[in-house]
């Protein structure tokens, strides 16, 4: 129906235009546009304070941050990861000339299953890369145990995890490294952007050089780095976004809970299991469309679309079923039964801070 207001799966939060214009004036005055300028430095320090972490390096986006993080760890051979993620997760492994090995997931959370990972570890495995899907943390204890027991590196793709905390402690301090994305679709955005967090200052120092081609100074270049620098315009945008974040997350939380209230008990609709002890950023509202629902998942997707509601099938198709990956031995659907089950049934409904109660009611009326 053409005259219905279009509702997209997400809409970005933006800072106040007047405040952003003031920051732009500062850029125009000092004429520093990029290369670790004052706003970039301010953004990095504010992020550290906000997230409660000591060592963090801002990057131009989450994908370049993932590529650089894997490179900085000097990995060889194979990296075990999840097929239930955004393609950048596996692409970053291939870009490093490493082989992705897909393990299965927990069908209730979408997160990598530590038991499935353990079965795939061989002497060629140099790292494990789980994703905290929808910002819902993986089984951190189990992965830490695997890291210690098998002596592998543990890199968390924490693209969805800005501000996710357990009793006020950031989950970004888990493993060897965590990677964030500040893409426009995320709960916290700097238009494009990303960051790497680690407890290890030497690793972050290495990654600080890496994002500027490896330049230590004018004459010395350490390692073949990349251009991963965030510019001053985006740093300014990010700084202002931090001031509104808790308010925006609160609005998202209200939407998330209203959805749960309206969809509770609908036959064939299940929610993803978010572990109650964490504080979340409410980036996504995923539902599982089970076989006893009146429509297929794609049937529901089409029904919403016909009413100008654009949900997304995050994450479908599975990475392991894409042409680029499907011939890897671990990608076989018979080995990834939970991932294929969830990938075929998952649907992410619109969720953003400005979504109104009426919008949610309109969406839910089409689901129930």
Ligand X SMILES: Cc1ncc(COP(=O)(O)O)c(C=O)c1O
Is 58 or 289 the residue whose CB approaches ligand X more closely? 58
CA nearest neighbour of 178 among 324, 16, 40, 47: 47
Residue 80 CA to residue 74 CA, distance in Å, equals 16
Lookup: tokens for 365: 């009326």
Q: Interface with ligand X by CB under 6 A: which range of 15-23, 57-65, 212-220, 291-299? A: 57-65
How near is the Cβ of 269 to ligand X at its closest, in Å? 23
Say whether residue 316 binds ligand X (CB under 6 A). no
How near is the Cβ of 189 to ligand X at its closest, in Å? 9
Is 27 or 230 the residue whose CB approaches ligand X more closely? 230
Among 10, 57, 63, 248, binds ligand X (CB under 6 A): 63
* Strand arrangement, sheet containing 269-271: 269-271, 285-289, 346-349
How near is the Cβ of 26 to ligand X at its closest, in Å? 25
Say whether residue 134 binds ligand X (CB under 6 A). no
Residue 49 φ/ψ, nearest 5 degrees: -65, -45
Spell out, one character per residue from 70 to 109, where the chain touches ligand X: x when CB under 6 A holds, - when not: ---------------xx-xx--------------------
How near is the Cβ of 291 to ligand X at its closest, in Å? 27
Is 193 or 225 the residue whose CB approaches ligand X more closely? 193
Is 259 or 284 the residue whose CB approaches ligand X more closely? 284
Judge residue 218's burial from the number of C-beta atoms within 10 Å of its C-beta, 0-12 exposed, 13-18 middle, 19 or more buried.
exposed
Is 113 or 157 the residue whose CB approaches ligand X more closely? 157
How near is the Cβ of 65 to ligand X at its closest, in Å? 7
Say whether residue 159 binds ligand X (CB under 6 A). yes
Q: Residue with CB nearest ligand X? A: 62
CA angle at 105 for the pair 331 and 179, rounded to the nearest 5°: 90
Judge residue 364's burial from the number of C-beta atoms within 10 Å of its C-beta, 0-12 exposed, 13-18 middle, 19 or more buried.
middle
Is 161 or 367 the residue whose CB approaches ligand X more closely? 161
Is 204 or 230 the residue whose CB approaches ligand X more closely? 230
Among 61, 82, 109, 234, binds ligand X (CB under 6 A): 61
Handedness of CA 70, 71, 73, 75 (dihedral sign): positive
Burial per residue of 145-182, b for 16 or more beta-carbon CB atoms within 10 angstroms, e otherwise: ebbeeeebbbbbbbbbbbbbbeeeebbbbbbbbbbbbb
CA nearest neighbour of 197 among 225, 165, 245: 165
Residue 368 CA to residue 365 CA, distance in Å, equals 6
Please give the residues from 190 up to 209 whose contact with ligand X meets the rule CB under 6 A.
194
Chain positions contacting ligand X, by CB under 6 A: 61-63, 85-86, 88-89, 131, 157, 159, 181, 183, 194
């Amino acid at each position: 129906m053409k005259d219905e207001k279009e509702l997209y799966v997400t809409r970005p939060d933006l800072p106040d235009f007047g405040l952003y214009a003031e920051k732009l004036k500062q850029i125009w005055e000092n004429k520093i546009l990029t290369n670790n300028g004052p706003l970039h430095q301010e953004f990095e320090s504010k992020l550290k304070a906000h997230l409660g972490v000591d060592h963090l390096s801002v990057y131009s986006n989450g994908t370049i941050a993932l590529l650089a993080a894997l490179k900085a760890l000097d990995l060889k051979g194979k990296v075990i990861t999840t097929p239930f993620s955004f393609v950048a997760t596996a692409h970053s492994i291939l870009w490093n000339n490493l082989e992705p090995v897909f393990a299965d997931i927990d069908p209730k959370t979408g997160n990598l299953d530590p038991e499935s990972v353990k079965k795939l570890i061989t002497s060629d495995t140099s790292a494990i890369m789980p994703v905290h899907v929808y910002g819902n943390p993986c089984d951190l204890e189990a992965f830490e145990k695997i890291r210690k027991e098998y002596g592998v590196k543990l890199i968390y793709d924490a693209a969805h995890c800005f501000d996710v905390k357990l009793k006020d402690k950031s989950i970004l301090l888990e493993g060897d490294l965590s990677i964030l994305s500040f893409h426009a679709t995320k709960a916290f955005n700097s238009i494009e952007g990303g960051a790497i967090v680690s407890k290890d200052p030497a690793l972050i120092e290495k990654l600080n050089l890496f994002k500027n081609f490896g330049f230590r100074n004018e004459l010395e270049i350490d390692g073949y780095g990349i251009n991963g620098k965030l510019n001053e315009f985006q740093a300014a945008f990010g700084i202002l976004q931090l001031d509104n974040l808790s308010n925006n997350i609160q609005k998202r939380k209200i939407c998330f809970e209203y959805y749960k209230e309206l969809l509770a008990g609908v036959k064939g609709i299940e929610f993803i299991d978010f572990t109650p002890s964490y504080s979340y950023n409410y980036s996504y509202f995923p539902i599982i469309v089970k076989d006893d629902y009146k429509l297929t998942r794609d049937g529901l997707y089409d029904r919403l679309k016909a009413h100008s509601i654009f949900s997304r099938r995050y994450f479908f198709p599975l990475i392991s079923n894409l042409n680029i990956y499907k011939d890897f031995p671990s990608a076989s659907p018979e080995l990834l039964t939970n991932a294929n089950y969830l990938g075929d049934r998952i649907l992410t409904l619109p969720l953003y801070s400005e979504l109104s109660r009426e919008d949610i009611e309109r969406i839910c009326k089409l689901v129930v």
